[in-house]
A and B are shown apart, each in its own frame.
Chain A
Amino acid sequence: MIEKIVTYEIKRAVARKKVITIIGITLLFEVGVYVALSQVKTPRIETILGPISSLLWLVGVLLPQSLLLHFITISISSGALSEEYEQGTVDFFLTKPITRLQFLTGKYLGGFLLVTLVYAFMVFLSLMLSELLFGSQIDLGYLPALFLSVEFSSLTFFSIAFMIGEVLRRSSLAFLISSTVLIGSILIGTVLEFVSRLTGSSIFTSIAIALPAWGAVELPYIYAQGIPNASLIVQALEIFPAISGTEIEAIAYVVLYSGVSTVLAFVSFLNRDIPKRVS
């Protein structure tokens, strides 16, 4: 039964203009980045890019996950449940031989599968464009694990937005609040790190690391630092270059935020009444 809801969720998302827009943005973003890199031909840039041109697939794979992928994730998951309430279609499914648990699991997995497909499309474009514009790419063996780390870290804001969408049952409000949490924790994290340097107290760095954005954004970068000769690209793309945390910390915070949010979403959905159409 869950697979039927997953299929429905993908169809529903594709039918919405929002997802078409996301795919359009993705295409523009990836093409724009690579075309820009290939067109800037000053001697200095060529000197910098020369040694790493065979690793430029990393740019398109890592750059979206700094911010764009999290927004896409929020956009998809904030509406996964709340739009069903707004359109009143949740009644349709819950009066069928489908349990609430199956329905919610289907919606969660369907939404996350869509995020995966969008990111896979980004990765595909990165590989294609980097090969096309900068020649043969190397170290692609790191790609599967990097892909998984991006997917895993995107669970943070996927789950937060999913939970807020269920609790508030308003898609626009869920999108706004989740986006604010993302941007807010990036800004606060940066400020906290600055304060930490001024005061010399590591407590502020610890707080910055504990904010939702750090683990979600940094985990793939931490992993990518292990790729030979990739440090220049990683440093250039990182949002939190100054905050140094470990891979374990990043994983722990992703698990914590996505775990707590998912549990809250499930508890709420399994125990609350389904109201008549809310808008």
Chain B
Amino acid sequence: MTISVKGLVKYYGNKEVLKGVSLTAERGAVTAVLGPNGAGKTTTIRIIMTLIFPTKGEVSILGQDPFRHKKVFRKVGYVQELPNLPQFLTGRELLRMSSKIKGASKEDVDRVLKIVGMEENADKKIAKYSKGMTQRIAIAEALLGDPEVLVMDEPNIGTDPVLNYNMRETLKEMKKEGKTILMTTHVLEDVKKVADKVYLLYQGKVFFEGTPEDLVKKFLGVVVITEASNVEVAERSLKELDYVRGFKVEGNKLVIRLSEDRREELLHYLVTSGVGIRSFYLDQELEEAYITALKEAEKVDRENSNL
């Protein structure tokens, strides 16, 4: 594993904001850390990036303790939440300074500017940039030196759909190249499209760990979408199945929630019942699963605090 965090505990005064967070991020994968505001996502990232000292616990990046071996950051790119960059520099000046610090080449500055589409605005002062442009330069800066590890704290704040798309494509490329990406985000679309692993933090604790599919399966069950030519027959048939947790009809489309993964059995049943199946596919209602998971987390937390 490239990033490993074990048993992170962080107190601010008497307040325990992290209660033993452990997570890992592997090579060639995007690991997303989700959770509501105040869950401890940014605190975890800031500890990994050595901005905050943990009260207890260990952090390792590429097998090294970043608090003792800052040189490891030559191989790490970081996009901070709402990047605060030196306003008096131009985008290009910032990237040049950073490339010197990271030991990246001058040519790399042009490469990263191209990735984020900032070639034309690179010579303007950062003070004159819009929020989105600042974010682009911050992302470009993180990509300098072709880092092995990319850590991003809510990188989508202030970005437009084109940059989001380019960013996702860049992440996919980086995954293929065997890079490690750890990100916190509230944008579930990104999680659905690029994340391989998800950690759900709630009140400073990891409440869930697994793939995005696992998140949906655990908190929503298996959701399939099917288009049928005879919806009424389909409705009648579905009511007879004990493993169908529920379903809703949207025109010819049926969204069916299963309590366990018995998709093949369902498909066979619907076909033999004469429903007239036109399409049948697994759906990942990540947003709904996320909200359900949070409600569950809140319930568990309440129960624990009542004990």
Residues of A within 8 A of B (CB): 1, 4, 8, 11-12, 15-16, 87-89, 91-92, 94-99, 271, 273-274, 276-277
Asked if B70 contacts A89 (CB within 8 A), the reply is no
Q: What are 17 contact pairs spanning A and B, CB under 8 A?
A: A1-B101, A11-B88, A11-B89, A12-B88, A15-B88, A89-B84, A89-B85, A91-B80, A94-B49, A94-B50, A94-B51, A95-B51, A95-B76, A96-B102, A97-B70, A98-B73, A277-B82
Q: Please classify the interface of chain A as helix (H, G, I), strand (E, B), loop, or mixed, using the class held by over half of its residues.
A: loop
Cβ contacts under 8 Å, B72 to chain A: 97
Asked if A12 contacts B86 (CB within 8 A), the reply is yes
Tell me, in angstroms, the Cα distance from A210 to B86 when the chains sit together.
40
With A97-B102, A274-B51, A274-B52 known to touch, is A92 a contact of B73 (CB < 8 Å)? Answer: no
Asked if B84 contacts A92 (CB within 8 A), the reply is yes
Tell me, in angstroms, the Cα distance from A90 to B74 when the chains sit together.
17
Q: How far is the CB of B66 from chain A (nearest CB, A)?
A: 10
Task: Write the chain B residue with the least CB distance to A101.
Answer: B70
Q: How far is the CB of B290 from chain A (nearest CB, A)?
A: 25
Asked if A98 contacts B101 (CB within 8 A), the reply is yes
With A4-B97, A276-B42 known to touch, is A95 a contact of B88 (CB < 8 Å)? Answer: no
Task: Write the chain B residue with the least CB distance to A7.
Answer: B97
Residues of B within 8 A of A (CB): 42, 46, 49-53, 70-74, 76, 78, 80-89, 97-98, 100-103
Cβ contacts under 8 Å, A1 to chain B: 101
Tell me, in angstroms, the Cα distance from A277 to B46 when the chains sit together.
13
Tell me, in angstroms, the Cα distance from A89 to B85 when the chains sit together.
5
Cβ contacts under 8 Å, A4 to chain B: 97, 100-101
Task: Write the chain A residue with the least CB distance to B85.
Answer: A92
Q: How far is the CB of B158 from chain A (nearest CB, A)?
A: 15
Tell me, in angstroms, the Cα distance from A99 to B50 when the chains sit together.
10
Asked if A87 contacts B51 (CB within 8 A), the reply is no
Task: Write the chain A residue with the least CB distance to B127.
Answer: A15
The one of B46, B70, B81, B86 that contacts A98, using a Cβ cutoff of 8 Å? B70
Tell me, in angstroms, the Cα distance from A1 to B84 when the chains sit together.
21
Task: Write the chain A residue with the least CB distance to B87.
Answer: A87
Tell me, in angstroms, the Cα distance from A165 to B236 when the chains sit together.
73
Cβ contacts under 8 Å, A96 to chain B: 73, 98, 101-102
With A4-B100, A273-B53 known to touch, is A95 a contact of B85 (CB < 8 Å)? Answer: no
Cβ contacts under 8 Å, A91 to chain B: 49, 51, 80, 84
The one of B50, B81, B86, B87 that contacts A95, using a Cβ cutoff of 8 Å? B50
Q: How far is the CB of B63 from chain A (nearest CB, A)?
A: 16
Q: How far is the CB of B42 from chain A (nearest CB, A)?
A: 7
Nearest first, the 9 A-B pairs at minimum CB distance are: A88-B84, A15-B88, A274-B51, A97-B73, A273-B52, A95-B78, A95-B49, A97-B74, A96-B101
